[in-house]
């Protein structure tokens, strides 16, 4: 053990390992400022485990030529970031103050940025979906696009949260994204950031008294918006419902589960299993809207939207139409570290009611019906959307 181990490190060890205990522990001598200090075995093991990190910090702070430029807080944050990144899961990250605040802002429903939800696919930083009405959508960025650079800086799948931070910013400021699209090549998109207000639910009555609801993502307001949309449509005596989850990147599990409860009969909506094998189950009651249902999905439907779609499929409560979904079957938890920072960590895998984990696989619809190639990169109105027309065709046969 390095004889220059500082007192503060020992104090940190005491705090981190929660050494307050009601039982006696064995003690060991540890080299300390040229002498020895008696510590508990737990504390000794902790210091031994992180000895190398302490030694490197000591070497750098005492040897670096521009010692006055050393920022100890940045070093600590860097060490924590590296420790979390070493897990190799792009969804498990340490969030600094800016990143943590931005994540909280997103779940509240408003933030400044370009309106892109990203994910990791085949080792690449991939656009899960542009947010409806955002600068990204207006510029023509699409689900499946691969982000190579942000403002000229190369970005990889391991940099998801860094990329999100770089793309967000003050309304009216500029950011340049370098995008690769299969069959189209590489293109730079110059975007002007805007205030992204997430109105996540919209509704309309289509032909033959069939209701239409589109959910663009799941945030704190989505369930209430969905309830209001259903109430509004039922007052117009709809006979069936098209639920559009295309390019829905997901969001809050609770919002997805609450909506599923309104659509499904009694039973299991979804369950998760954590690293200890603990199972947590979300269930629906017997009350539901009780009308024929068709759900539209595509490769941009991910996470919480896949939970909803998977439950509807397994219950046979509706017909899924479209293309295979994104395939994100992991659950993250955000832990507030009480100093303005946080950790987002993958805590479990989720499973559909029939026990399928769709991580990396996605959900295959009951009816595979892709958008025609000539329409894929174009804005298509609800009335002229081929997939919606297919959904209406299926619903009319059920009514």
CA distance 269 to 273: 14
How far is residue 206 from each of residues 202, 222, 233, 393, measured CA to CA in Å?
13, 22, 10, 12
Measure Cα distances from 262 to 123, 167, 226, 296, 324 in Å.
36, 36, 10, 17, 24
Exposure of 276 in the CB half-sphere (CA atoms within 13 A): 2
Lay out the sheet containing 367-368: strands in order across. 201-206, 210-215, 240-244, 293-297, 319-322, 367-368
In this structure, the dihedral spanned by the alpha carbons of residues 44, 341, 222 and 168, taken in order and rounded to 10 degrees, is -140
Which residues does the annotation mark as catalytic? Answer: 303, 314, 328
């Amino acid at each position: 053990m390095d004889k220059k181990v500082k007192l503060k490190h020992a104090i940190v060890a005491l705090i981190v390992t929660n050494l307050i205990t009601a039982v006696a522990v064995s003690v060991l001598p540890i080299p300390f400022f040229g002498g020895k200090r008696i510590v508990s075995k737990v504390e000794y093991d902790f210091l031994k485990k992180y000895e190398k990190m302490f030694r490197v910090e000591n070497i750098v702070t005492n040897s670096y030529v521009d010692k006055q430029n050393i920022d100890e807080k940045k070093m600590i944050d860097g060490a924590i970031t590296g420790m979390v990144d070493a897990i190799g899961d792009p969804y498990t990250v340490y969030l600094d103050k800016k990143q943590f605040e931005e994540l909280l802002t997103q779940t509240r429903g408003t933030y400044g940025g370009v309106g892109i939800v990203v994910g990791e696919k085949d080792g690449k930083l991939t656009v899960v979906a542009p947010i409806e009405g955002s600068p990204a959508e207006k510029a023509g960025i699409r689900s499946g696009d691969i982000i190579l650079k942000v403002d000229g800086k190369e970005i990889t799948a391991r940099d998801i949260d860094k990329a999100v931070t770089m793309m967000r910013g003050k309304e009216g400021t500029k950011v340049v994204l370098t995008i690769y699209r299969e069959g189209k090549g590489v293109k730079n998109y110059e975007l002007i950031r805007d205030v992204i207000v997430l109105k996540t639910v919209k509704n309309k009555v289509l032909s033959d008294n069939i209701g239409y609801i589109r959910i663009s993502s799941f945030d704190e307001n989505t369930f209430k918006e969905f309830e209001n949309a259903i109430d509004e449509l039922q007052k117009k005596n709809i006979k069936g419902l098209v639920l559009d989850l295309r390019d829905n990147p997901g969001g809050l599990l609770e919002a997805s589960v609450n909506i599923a409860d309104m659509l499904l009969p009694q039973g299991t909506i979804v369950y998760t299993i954590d690293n200890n094998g603990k199972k947590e189950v979300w269930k629906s009651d017997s009350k539901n809207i009780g009308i024929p249902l068709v759900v539209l999905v595509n490769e941009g439907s991910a996470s919480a939207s896949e939970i909803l779609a998977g439950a509807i499929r397994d219950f046979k409560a509706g017909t899924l139409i479209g293309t295979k979904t994104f395939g994100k079957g992991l659950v993250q938890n955000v832990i507030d570290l009480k100093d303005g920072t946080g950790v987002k960590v993958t805590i479990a895998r989720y499973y559909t009611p029939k026990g399928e984990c769709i991580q990396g696989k996605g959900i295959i619809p009951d009816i595979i019906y892709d958008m025609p190639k000539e329409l894929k990169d174009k804005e298509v109105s609800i009335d002229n959307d081929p997939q919606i027309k297919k959904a209406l065709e299926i619903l009319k046969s059920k009514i």
